[in-house]
């Protein structure tokens, strides 16, 4: 009897347990998503960033959570993170996107760009994977060529640059890259051909002009080399880049103004000054905290001949950023270029006050004092420039010229000898030093001319 009771109790307990388990199962069945582990979406520290950036990234994360199998959602979030310098988080998103959509090379390619900063071999491998999806992509070929060149694999780099140039014959960047390889291999004829074409495609690129100067000096064409060096001082941007539609998608999501500034630089490289000015005006309006954009806007307006507008931007620049010497220096150059030398001197003095080792400001002061006949004062300015930047030959040459005008050939020779012992990237400066040596020996009383081109814009800020 007791045994039967015990058996019945056990049966009842089992039924109760089964009911409990069934209830739990039904509950989980009606709330399946809640029972799954939470989706891991990268979330960087965005402390100090604007509310617009916070909202854009938050919306991007919500899209991934609601569509975890969407390559587009993961890719969009990755581009947002990449646009705002969250490289690790962007890499995670792009890896998810490339796994979900193996036919879109964009997500692999953007990983390659991120890897360029830390692992060139991995970046090279990623670009080769991208070419398996689209072997006709000029930008992937160009990027791969740059990585191969940095790895010292120059023949492979040349092949990629050549393919990029053939795919995009109106783009100057591959031609410039090929010319640099030619110069390093002493292939003068090929270098000249590529540089002339690059110069035609990008007439305002400083690096193209400097490479032309390097080629001319290697060939002993010193006058031509000096001409290219002078024209490089008037160029607006240092480099040209191949048009990159995939990277542009990243730039278009950037909400801090930097990408727009870079696009303005590209417009400048193409000689589209008015379009660059318009874009920079928009950047300055939306991001008044960006000093570089305002400085570049002031310089571009100067180059467009809009002197009053340029001066207003310089005034805004030094008012908002009173401790940055670059604004005073560029403003002084503008004033000197239109003959307002006393005002220019004041701006150069302000640049020196903000940065005591401002070698260029002291050199510019020396040029103005020399022009006005204050040779002893000019000599002091050039000496301060040399003290601030002892490796720059131009100040030595200027000081030697002043001493030559003062009838002090021994002092002139002393500074020419000091300049001769500096390390120079090419023979152009050395030839100028030799010319001045001959001038001191033959015509100790001759005067040095102040070239007005020295007061022209020296390029936008980088």
* High-pLDDT (> 70) share of the chain, %: 80
**Confidence at 414, pLDDT banded by 50, 70, 90:** confident
The verdict on residue 115 lying in a domain is yes
The verdict on residue 74 lying in a domain is yes
Contact of 104 with 71, CB cutoff 8 Å = yes
Given a cut of 80, is residue 39 above it in pLDDT? no
The verdict on residue 67 lying in a domain is yes
Into how many domains does the chain fold? Answer: 1
The verdict on residue 84 lying in a domain is yes
The string of DSSP letters for 39-72 reads: P-------TT--HHHHHHHHHHHHHHHH-TT-HH
Given a cut of 90, is residue 147 above it in pLDDT? yes
The CATH number of whichever domain residue 136 belongs to comes to 1.25.40.10
pLDDT of amino acid 240: 78
pLDDT of amino acid 429: 60
CA angle 61, 65, 67 (to 5 degrees): 110
The verdict on residue 123 lying in a domain is yes
**Confidence at 354, pLDDT banded by 50, 70, 90:** confident
Find the domain containing 127 and state its range.
Answer: 53-181
Tell me: the pLDDT tens digits for 295-310? 889 988 988 899 999 9
**Confidence at 238, pLDDT banded by 50, 70, 90:** low
Tell me: the pLDDT tens digits for 372-386? 999 999 999 999 999
Mean pLDDT confidence for 323-344: 90
Helix (H) / strand (E) containing 244: none
140 burial type by CB count under 10 A (0-12 exposed, 13-18 middle, 19+ buried): buried
pLDDT of amino acid 123: 96
Given a cut of 70, is residue 449 above it in pLDDT? no
* High-pLDDT (> 90) share of the chain, %: 46
Mean pLDDT confidence for 137-165: 96
The verdict on residue 169 lying in a domain is yes
The verdict on residue 298 lying in a domain is no
pLDDT of amino acid 395: 84
The verdict on residue 341 lying in a domain is no
């Amino acid at each position: 009897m007791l045994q039967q009771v015990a058996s019945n109790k056990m049966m009842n307990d089992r039924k109760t347990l089964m009911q409990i388990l069934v209830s739990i199962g039904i509950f989980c069945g009606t709330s399946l998503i809640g029972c799954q582990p939470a989706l891991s979406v990268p979330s960087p520290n965005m402390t100090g960033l604007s509310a617009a950036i916070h909202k854009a990234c938050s919306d991007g994360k919500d899209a991934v959570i609601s569509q975890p199998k969407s390559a587009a959602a993961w890719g969009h979030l990755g581009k947002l993170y990449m646009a705002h310098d969250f490289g690790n988080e962007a890499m995670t998103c792009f890896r998810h996107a490339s796994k979900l959509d193996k036919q879109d090379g964009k997500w692999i390619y953007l990983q390659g760009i991120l890897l360029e900063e830390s692992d060139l071999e991995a970046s090279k491998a990623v670009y080769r994977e991208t070419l398996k999806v689209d072997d006709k992509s000029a930008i992937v070929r160009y990027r791969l060529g740059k990585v191969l060149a940095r790895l010292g694999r120059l023949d492979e780099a040349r092949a990629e640059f050549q393919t990029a140039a053939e795919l995009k014959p109106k783009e100057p960047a591959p031609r410039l890259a090929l010319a640099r390889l030619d110069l390093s291999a002493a292939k003068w004829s090929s270098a000249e051909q590529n540089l002339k074409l690059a110069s035609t495609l990008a007439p305002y690129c400083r690096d193209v002009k400097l490479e032309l100067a390097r080629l001319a000096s290697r060939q002993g064409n010193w006058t031509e080399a000096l001409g290219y060096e002078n024209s490089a001082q008037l160029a607006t941007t240092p480099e040209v880049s191949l048009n990159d539609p995939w990277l542009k998608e990243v730039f278009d999501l950037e909400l801090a103004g930097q990408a727009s500034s870079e696009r303005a630089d590209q417009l400048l490289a193409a000689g589209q000054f008015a379009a660059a000015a318009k874009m920079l005006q928009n950047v300055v309006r939306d991001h008044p905290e960006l000093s570089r954009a305002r400085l570049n806007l002031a310089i571009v307006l100067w180059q467009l001949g809009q002197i009053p507008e340029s001066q207003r931007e310089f005034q805004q620049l030094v008012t908002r950023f009173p401790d940055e010497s670059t604004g005073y220096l560029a403003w002084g150059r503008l004033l000197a270029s239109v003959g307002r030398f006393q005002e220019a001197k004041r701006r150069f003095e302000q640049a020196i006050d903000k940065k005591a080792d401002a070698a260029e400001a002291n050199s510019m002061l020396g040029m103005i004092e020399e022009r006005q006949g204050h040779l002893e004062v000019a000599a002091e300015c050039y000496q301060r420039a040399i003290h601030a930047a002892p490796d720059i030959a131009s100040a030595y040459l200027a000081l030697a010229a002043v001493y030559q005008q003062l009838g002090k050939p021994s002092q002139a020779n002393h500074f020419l000898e000091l300049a001769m012992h500096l390390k120079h990237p090419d023979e152009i400066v050395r030839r100028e030093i030799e010319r001045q040596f001959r001038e001191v020996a033959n015509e100790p009383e001759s005067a040095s001319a102040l070239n007005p081109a020295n007061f022209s814009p020296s390029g936008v800020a980088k």
